Structure 1
Amino acid sequence: MRKKILSLVTMLVVVLLASCGNLTTDEINEKCASGVVLIRNQSYFEVRLNNGESFYFTDFNKEEETFEGWTSERSEIEKNESYGTGFFISDKGLIATNHHVVASKIDEDEAKRSLTEMFNNYKEACYGEYYSYNEEIEGLEDTKQEKFNAGEDYSKEDSILAEIRQERAEIETRYRELERINIHKSKLIYHREIGISYNNSWVKKESDVIPCTVLKTDAQHDLAIIQLDSKVTPSENYIFNVPAVDPLNSYSFKDNMKKKAGEDKNSSVYMISFNLGPQLALTTEGIKSQINLGNISQKTDEQLLYSIPSLPGSSGSPVVNEQGELVAVNFAGLSTTQSFNYGIRVKFLYSLLQSLPK
């Protein structure tokens, strides 16, 4: 009799737990979407030479070894604008995203090699120009001598010679300045302005982009934590819990009962993101994120591979299970397809968060 009662109670528990099943796509979106933000990074580079002079550029083209937007005037620089996704992880305005969303994407050593070559080319050009002036001066000196011997007026040649000698002196000065430049003793500085826009908000003017500061990054695992300058997360925005124990490995009694009833919380995962940044996010109702469902197809100690399509702009998106628990941070896709993406497992974000000063 006891066995029958126990069996009946067990069945009842399973049925009750099964009735409290996993969340639907709409329920996940309603629960979590307000915690997702669109991140904008406006950036440029400064080359601060060892002689104190500075030059600026927008980006470095590795294939062509050229510096886009090169200028000597900071006011003339055209900032590079890129977008990613982030999500709130504390009530103090902390936002998680990818390192590459907020950091420089150029290889400093490669850029410095190209800079060295570029300044060497400048020196060669100055050298060539200096000796072309010498040839011109010699020609004018010969003409002047001929006119002097003939008793003719050579004041015009004197005037031109004075101008050319002045120009040659300027070229010589510039050449000596270039010789003193050592790119390896110079600094390559990455300037950035990070701002976010809230999900379901209007972005019509610059003040609608909320300024942030980068607090800490983990380049190895492509993670970053930024913070609203106000240091306060708005009360209406959802805050994702960053668990100490990975939900993919942790099942409560309730979770196990639901799993037995065919409701495994980790059978599928969701990603909430801003694919293509504002290009897809802008709607007649403000900016809106997209939510996509997929399955985990591969796990390693550091990352997950899942069948969720994405586009540029989704970097830094939260990946949650069917209970809305954070399991990964999206960071990269396969180059041959947009249907599979990689996420960094949540334990690395937990470690980065714990490393911040209390």
Structure 2
Amino acid sequence: MDHEKNESDQNELDKNQSQQNNNSPSDDFSEQQNLESENLSSENSSNEIREKPVEKQPEQTLPVTEKKKRNPYKIAFFSLGGIILLGGASYFGYNYYKNHQVEPIAENVCLDTDTKIYDAYKDAVVMVKHRYGFFAKIKGKEVQLNLPDVSEETLFGTAFFVDKKGNMISNSHVLQPWNSPENIDKLNTDASNIRRKIASILTTDISEDGYETFITSNWGNASSEYDEEGESDYHDGEGEADQGEEFVTSDQPTVDSTAEAVDIAASIPHKDYISEEYIEVYMKTIDISVALHNSAEEWLPCTIEKISEDVSVDLGVLQLTTKETPNTVVNIINLEHAVTDDQTLRPGEKAVMIGYPLGEDLAQTISGIKVQLYDGQISKESDGTKIQYSVTSTHGASGSPIFNNCGQLIAVNFSGLEKVQGYNFGIIAKQINSVYPFLAAEVKVDHIN
């Protein structure tokens, strides 16, 4: 009996030991995996349980009051940001407008700085582009001559508005450059040569409508040379044929050389050429236009209204074809405010010029045409017609207004020494009214009205 009991105890002990040996690390890992799998499965199930109610309830079923409670800070933030941005844009926009706005000038107010003078009158000063060339009138028919050595030219200058009817003041040599003292002699010489050349090629059998084409096609054969007796030699093709030395033998009959020359001359077709007395050559405007400050290659067509009859007064009147000054020109350069007593202009006093020296070369920018300001001082007393000052200037600035330190017009720039700066001249302002009294009358009528 005891033996059986001991055997039973021994079996239980072996069984327990066997179970302990089976508890290896791999079993622990498996158990751990099983636990994690169970936990993950439990979490997924839990998530599914939590998500199911959200899927079943659409967003619009949420109470409106609950939505509003989610966004109060966000709404306030964006509202405040919008107010700040709008306020900043308004502030900077107002400052830009204020700094760039041209205001009308009050009467008897001194513009005591260069910047104030520039801001007041920059829009009233325009750049002039003048295209001109040679024309010929043949038996009353006018044709433009556009030939290799007779081509059109382009000149740039300056002008400024003096009323609201599109009238501008400039130099006469800008409006009629061919009549300036330094060009008149050359023009007369060139015109005479061109007239002779036309007479050397243009025949009477050419129709008036064919003048321009014929002259252009045959210009290479034209000549302006004269023989020693002062008569033109450009029709020498009708002269006698050259006669070489003849060898006469006893077997050959005698030939009358005079009769042979007459026969050759008779065989040459005879053409009549138009006489120079029926040909007139002169220079003339092709077109003239102006560009405003800050414009982008927009040229406004003009007409030349008046040229000074006094060659010493280099002034002229230009007018827009619309006969209306643009609305962008807030302040015209009023002749009533100009300094007409030139004896008050003393050496050493300030002189300010607004204009377009060098024309398009200097005025053209990536944002449009820009007028320029230069200053100096009066160098010499007025002689009653012109005054000298030390303002920097060059071609293109002809016709620019010259102001004193208060912004009153004192002169119109017209000449200078290009190689040496500082020696420039202007026609004094009082000459505008004396030469163009109708402008002064119009200004007074507008002022009264």
- Please tell me the TM-score bracket, short chain as reference: 0.5 to 0.7
1:101 matched to 2:174? The reply is yes
Query: Following superposition, which runs of at least 4 residues in structure 1 exceed 6 angstroms of deviation?
Result: 161-164
1:209 matched to 2:299? The reply is yes
Alpha-carbon contact 2:341-2:430 (below 8 Å) kept = no
C-alpha displacement at 1:189, in angstroms?
Answer: 4.9
Deviations 1:177-225 (A, max 9, x none): 3xx3227x8363523311000011111xxxx210001111115301011
Alpha-carbon contact 1:195-1:212 (below 8 Å) kept = yes
- Map 1:132-143 → 2, pairs under 5 A: 134-135=240-241
CA distance 1:23–1:112, shift in 2 (3 Å): closer
In the alignment, which residue of structure 1 is the partner of 2:339?
246
C-alpha displacement at 1:56, in angstroms?
Answer: 4.5
- Map 1:6-17 → 2, pairs under 5 A: none
> In structure 1, how many angstroms separate the alpha carbons of the residues matched to 2:412 and 2:373?
14
CA distance 1:245–1:32, shift in 2 (3 Å): closer
In the alignment, which residue of structure 2 is the partner of 1:13?
none
In the alignment, which residue of structure 1 is the partner of 2:280?
186
CA distance 1:348–1:281, shift in 2 (3 Å): same
In the alignment, which residue of structure 2 is the partner of 1:88?
161
Alpha-carbon contact 2:130-2:285 (below 8 Å) kept = no
> In structure 1, how many angstroms separate the alpha carbons of the residues matched to 2:289 and 2:376?
30
> In structure 2, how many angstroms separate the alpha carbons of the residues matched to 1:303 and 1:102?
19
CA distance 1:328–1:189, shift in 2 (3 Å): same
C-alpha displacement at 1:25, in angstroms?
Answer: 1.7
1:315 maps to which of 388, 398, 401: 398
Segments of structure 2 that go 5 or more residues without pairing to the other structure are: 1-108, 197-223, 247-251, 254-262, 443-449
C-alpha displacement at 1:124, in angstroms?
Answer: 3.7
1:327 maps to which of 385, 393, 410: 410
Q: Secondary structure at the match of 1:309?
A: coil
CA distance 1:292–1:116, shift in 2 (3 Å): closer
CA distance 1:52–1:247, shift in 2 (3 Å): closer
Alpha-carbon contact 2:387-2:427 (below 8 Å) kept = yes
CA distance 1:124–1:318, shift in 2 (3 Å): same
In the alignment, which residue of structure 2 is the partner of 1:31?
120
Higher helix share: 2
- Map 1:133-282 → 2, pairs under 5 A: 134-135=240-241, 165-167=267-269, 169-170=270-271, 173-174=272-273, 177=274, 180-182=275-277, 186=280, 188-203=282-297, 208-220=298-310, 221-237=313-329, 238-243=331-336, 246=339, 267-282=349-364
Alpha-carbon contact 1:89-1:240 (below 8 Å) kept = yes
> In structure 2, how many angstroms separate the alpha carbons of the residues matched to 1:315 and 1:110?
21
Alpha-carbon contact 1:85-1:316 (below 8 Å) kept = yes
C-alpha displacement at 1:22, in angstroms?
Answer: 5.1
CA distance 1:57–1:24, shift in 2 (3 Å): same
Query: Number of matched residues?
Result: 280
C-alpha displacement at 1:286, in angstroms?
Answer: 0.5
Q: Secondary structure at the match of 1:349?
A: helix
> In structure 2, how many angstroms separate the alpha carbons of the residues matched to 1:129 and 1:56?
29
TM-score, normalisation: structure 1 = 0.67
> In structure 2, how many angstroms separate the alpha carbons of the residues matched to 1:324 and 1:53?
50
Higher strand share: 1
CA distance 1:109–1:336, shift in 2 (3 Å): closer
Q: Secondary structure at the match of 1:314?
A: coil
Deviations 1:50-91 (A, max 9, x none): x44656447xxxxxxxx9633xxxxxxx42111000000000
> In structure 2, how many angstroms separate the alpha carbons of the residues matched to 1:288 and 1:117?
41
Code of the residue aligned with 1:240 in structure 2: it is I
In the alignment, which residue of structure 1 is the partner of 2:68?
none
TM-score, normalisation: structure 2 = 0.55
CA distance 1:314–1:111, shift in 2 (3 Å): closer
> In structure 2, how many angstroms separate the alpha carbons of the residues matched to 1:80 and 1:47?
16
Alpha-carbon contact 1:244-1:350 (below 8 Å) kept = no
CA distance 1:36–1:48, shift in 2 (3 Å): same
Alpha-carbon contact 1:247-1:325 (below 8 Å) kept = no
C-alpha displacement at 1:164, in angstroms?
Answer: 9.5
Deviations 1:11-31 (A, max 9, x none): xxxxxxxxx975222111111
Alpha-carbon contact 2:288-2:301 (below 8 Å) kept = yes
Q: Secondary structure at the match of 2:235?
A: helix
In the alignment, which residue of structure 1 is the partner of 2:238?
130
1:42 matched to 2:125? The reply is no
Q: Secondary structure at the match of 1:194?
A: strand
> In structure 1, how many angstroms separate the alpha carbons of the residues matched to 2:186 and 2:417?
25
Alpha-carbon contact 2:415-2:426 (below 8 Å) kept = yes
> In structure 1, how many angstroms separate the alpha carbons of the residues matched to 2:111 and 2:326?
28
RMSD, matched Cα: 3.6
Alpha-carbon contact 1:196-1:210 (below 8 Å) kept = yes
> In structure 2, how many angstroms separate the alpha carbons of the residues matched to 1:273 and 1:111?
28
- Whose radius of gyration is greater, 1 or 2? 2
Code of the residue aligned with 2:302 in structure 1: it is C
What is the identity percentage for the equivalent residue pairs of Structure 1 and Structure 2?
Answer: 26
> In structure 2, how many angstroms separate the alpha carbons of the residues matched to 1:128 and 1:249?
63
